[in-house]
Structure 1
Amino acid sequence: MRCFDTANIYVKAGDGGKGCVAFRREKHVPRGGPSGGNGGNGGNVWAVVDDSLNSLAAFRKQLHYRATPGSLGGGSNRHGSNGADLEIRVPPGTIMRQRDAPEDEPPLAELLTVGERAVLATGGRGGRGNASFKTGRNNAPTLAEFGETGVEMWVELELKLVADVGIIGVPNAGKSTLLSVLSNAKPKVADYPFTTLVPNLGVCEMDYSTTVFADIPGLLEGAHAGVGLGHEFLRHCQRTRALVHVIDGTSSDPIGDYKALCTELELFNATLLDKPQVVAYNKIDLPDSGDYIDEVREFLLGEGVPPEDIFAISAATGKGVKDLVRRVRIVLDELPVVEAVKTTDALNMRELPRRVSSADISDFTVTADPEADRRWIVTGEAIDRFAAMTNWDYYEATLRFQKVLDATGINKALRAKGVQEGDTVVVGTTELEWSEDQSEGALYAAWREEKKARGTAWQGSARWPHAV
């Protein structure tokens, strides 16, 4: 037994493309200069409302969604193309949250109307090529950046159906039968409880007006606490503008059923009782089903239910159904004309996002690794990103990183913590070895040794160092 109104998916935005190191070599161009292009930006992952969907069953078999990465930069100042965005189709009424996020953190988005869209993960920025690093003092730079990593996360999807009216009642009260009579929906109908396991939507067109009904599967006592599939179904009542409360006329205690269900609504969310309710006493076509109608009517009037909101119907034969629908339309028309109400304070990022961080590179912390001796961890959003985008294959990139550590005060902070020769310093995912000799000659020698140890080709080293 599964209700496909919740799902977990993994989304991964595209990584930025790698920048290029290149120089112009055309004939008769003696001083062409650097011409390495930038990498393309990675694609974003969007969630888009599709009204042809009414459940999250589509996410049963596909869990991973990845946008296209940006292309590599090229020579002759050719920039890489941006990665294509990825659109994930979701039904109206879907709420998206980052998995394992704090309870007080707002959802990523809440989408209600057709065509509405919001970004789930932003693509990484493309790395810059060497043409972007040209300055008056360095007119032939030999370095480029890696592309920024795209955002990746697990996302929880939750569906709260968007409907005008919710049909509620105890199991086997005749809700699905009523929906099948009101609309062209064809829910499973049988004479045993819990026939309906998944909420169904139906569109009723009558008297030149359209009303969307949602059949909420049967609720048990204790549903607000998760008994049965209570939480799975009660959430769908929150967005409806009104409720049709179906009472089983063949029940041994129809009044008790009504009171128990109202209690569950109040315990789950007290605002549900504020919604207008039209009560339908069902199954009057069956023998002995009308024995309690007068008693039930008297009780409902005592509870403050207006007499015009109480109907005796037979969903199986259609008796009284048209009058019920007309009354529901009157109730809806008397309510303020509003769009579907959002149930959360979602972030709802509508504009095309390009991840531009406001973090300052001088905002960092230095701590000693509690699990290893002589190991120091430098953490900070900006410095972590800077380290991840540094292409260590180029000596100029290594020198640039060293200068940034000194300019931001990270080296000073490490010395204050007691760093010693040969200690390991971790910045993001990059491990460095501390040396007190930070001259360009020593840095170049260490870079060469590291390249030899890795067995990788030397790039951009012909002009370095300027002075040893």
Structure 2
Amino acid sequence: MVAGGTGGRGCVAFRREKFVPRGGPSGGNGGKGGDVYLVGDASQNSLLSFRRSVHFRAEHGEPGQGSDMHGQGGKDISVSVPPGTVVWARDAAAGDPPLGEVLAPGQRVLIARGGKGGRGNLAFKTARNTAPALAEHGERGQETWLRLEMQLVADAGIIGAPNAGKSTLLRVLSAARPKVADYPFTTLTPNLGVCGMDGRSTVFADVPGLVEGAHAGTGLGHEFLRHCRRCSVLVHVVDGSGPDPCADFLAVRRELELFDPGLAAKPFVLAYNKMDTPASSDYWPDVRAALCEEHGLADEDVLAVSAAAGTGVPALVRRVRRLLDGAGASGSWEEPGEVVALAPPPAAVNTARLSDFSISSDLAGPRTWYVSGEALERFAQMTDWSYFEAAARFQGVLKAAGVEAALVRAGVKPGDTVVVGEVEFNYSEDQGKGALYGAWIEARKEAGVVGRGSARWPHTTG
């Protein structure tokens, strides 16, 4: 769960200086609440750190003060995640776009914006109201639960059936040291390795073995297949000593197609592995002919290698590099620093209008009317009901936005309860300031609050 800081409240103050009898309002604005960012960290390679720490809150803004002093903004917080992290809302439906993606070290993605600070009474000064006695509460920061998913960022993904030699190939290509053993599923998590050759670097990802039904989740299929989405090129490793290498290759291709057709459309190279054994090398010409003639693979995309002996590996890397160049991939692993977020949260910018609202009712028991609207609810939350002028301003906004007329058309009656966000009040046909002041002061007395703003009588009684 992430939460931006709440904005600081505005201040109601007036200048009281010697020889300045008409100093006027001097209440400053509250500070903005802090934001929450996700930041790519190259030193992290998993999301295990979030198993124990799942709540992140930015600092609140400081309140405004007199003498036109604005409050200090709350500090932003940065949450470190491994490159390749994708962020969704926790309740996002299948197919919904992510809120953001952290693709490289140093990239920052805004995931929770802090609330703006409330305005002080100096901001409400006008030619007709030179001494306003009202201020605003700070806006609440955005608060939401998120779902994080890590997808490895690599140039080429090494895929294949279990025990095909993928981890051994990665050990030969790079300095990575994944677990290698003579039984299936020795690799339980993907591994990254950087291969340097011919003055260029290529990042390979060793994806754990795929089995039939992986697209439906069999054998943690979803956990493995999603890592292929970030790869520009795929390297199919086929166990040449197996009973039917062509069938193994076609089974993996079928799982890619069923999981995501975009994966099957990626350029790929087939590495016919274990050429150091007679059970594999003896059948290489027949398998190569079947793959090229019957299944349409190009000759240059079918290569014989021995991951254990390192035979054919340089040719494989050079072929992968040519495919990467053709796909427009950079093939580098650089830190670009801070970049713009790909998809900022929908609530990053408040674009809702006060006139955008809907009305629902519950007339089964006590008659209650619910006014829903993002801008109206935010306005009600920021209204400081300690001051009568703020209550009058709220009533004027409801009328100007068309809420009052809409309630009348819907059949509201005097005495009905009207709810706007967290604020509820009783509807009255008398909209004069005298009636509003009476209702406001009565509510203050019932709440046991007196003092601030209560001595100010409205200019007119309506």
* TM-score above 0.5, yes or no: yes
| Residue pairs, 1:197-346, within 5 angstroms | 197-286=188-277, 288-302=279-293, 303-337=295-329
Partner of 1:15: 6
Partner of 1:447: 440
Q: Is 1:464 the counterpart of 2:457 in the alignment?
A: yes
| Residue pairs, 1:174-213, within 5 angstroms | 174-213=165-204
Is 272-281 or 135-144 further displaced after alignment? 272-281
Partner of 2:402: 409
Q: Which runs of 4+ in 1 moved over 6 A?
A: none
- The unaligned stretches of length 5 or more in structure 2 are 333-339
Partner of 2:335: none
Rounded to whole Å, the distance in 2 between the matches of 1:235 and 1:104 is 14
- The unaligned stretches of length 5 or more in structure 1 are 1-9, 341-345
Q: Which amino acid aligns with 1:216?
A: V
Q: Deviations over 1:315-364 (max 9, x none)?
A: 22323323322332333344435689xxxxx98257x9995533322232
TM-score norm. by structure 1 comes to 0.89
1:216 deviates by 0.7
Partner of 1:429: 422
Rounded to whole Å, the distance in 1 between the matches of 2:156 and 2:364 is 58
Indicate the SS of the match to 1:298: helix
Q: Is 1:359 the counterpart of 2:360 in the alignment?
A: no
Q: Which amino acid aligns with 1:432?
A: F
Match of 2:367 among 369, 374, 379: 374
Rounded to whole Å, the distance in 2 between the matches of 1:63 and 1:235 is 23
Q: Is 1:348 the counterpart of 2:342 in the alignment?
A: yes
1:106 deviates by 2.8
> Is 1:106–1:347's contact at 8 Å kept on the other side of the alignment?
no
Rounded to whole Å, the distance in 2 between the matches of 1:105 and 1:280 is 36
1:17 deviates by 0.8
Q: Deviations over 1:59-82 (max 9, x none)?
A: 222212212221111111110111
Q: Is 1:133 the counterpart of 2:124 in the alignment?
A: yes
Rounded to whole Å, the distance in 2 between the matches of 1:51 and 1:30 is 62
Rounded to whole Å, the distance in 2 between the matches of 1:249 and 1:287 is 10
> Is 2:101–2:343's contact at 8 Å kept on the other side of the alignment?
no
Is 88-97 or 135-144 further displaced after alignment? 88-97
Q: Deviations over 1:133-175 (max 9, x none)?
A: 1122222211110011111112222222221111011011111
1:15 deviates by 1.1
Q: Is 1:118 the counterpart of 2:112 in the alignment?
A: no
Rounded to whole Å, the distance in 1 between the matches of 2:86 and 2:408 is 48
Rounded to whole Å, the distance in 2 between the matches of 1:383 and 1:374 is 21
Change (3 A) 1:197 1:89: same
1:41 deviates by 1.0
Is 325-334 or 59-68 further displaced after alignment? 325-334
How much identity, in percent, do the aligned residues show? 58
> Is 1:54–1:201's contact at 8 Å kept on the other side of the alignment?
no
Change (3 A) 1:418 1:211: same
Rounded to whole Å, the distance in 2 between the matches of 1:408 and 1:272 is 50
Q: Is 1:80 the counterpart of 2:82 in the alignment?
A: no
Is 65-74 or 359-368 further displaced after alignment? 359-368
Q: Deviations over 1:447-468 (max 9, x none)?
A: 2221122112321122213456
Rounded to whole Å, the distance in 2 between the matches of 1:282 and 1:437 is 86
TM-score norm. by structure 2 comes to 0.91
User: What's the RMSD between the two structures over aligned residues?
Assistant: 2.5
Rounded to whole Å, the distance in 1 between the matches of 2:28 and 2:168 is 65
Rounded to whole Å, the distance in 1 between the matches of 2:27 and 2:257 is 65
1:116 deviates by 3.0
> Is 1:123–1:354's contact at 8 Å kept on the other side of the alignment?
no
Rounded to whole Å, the distance in 1 between the matches of 2:27 and 2:413 is 39
Q: Which amino acid aligns with 2:429?
A: E
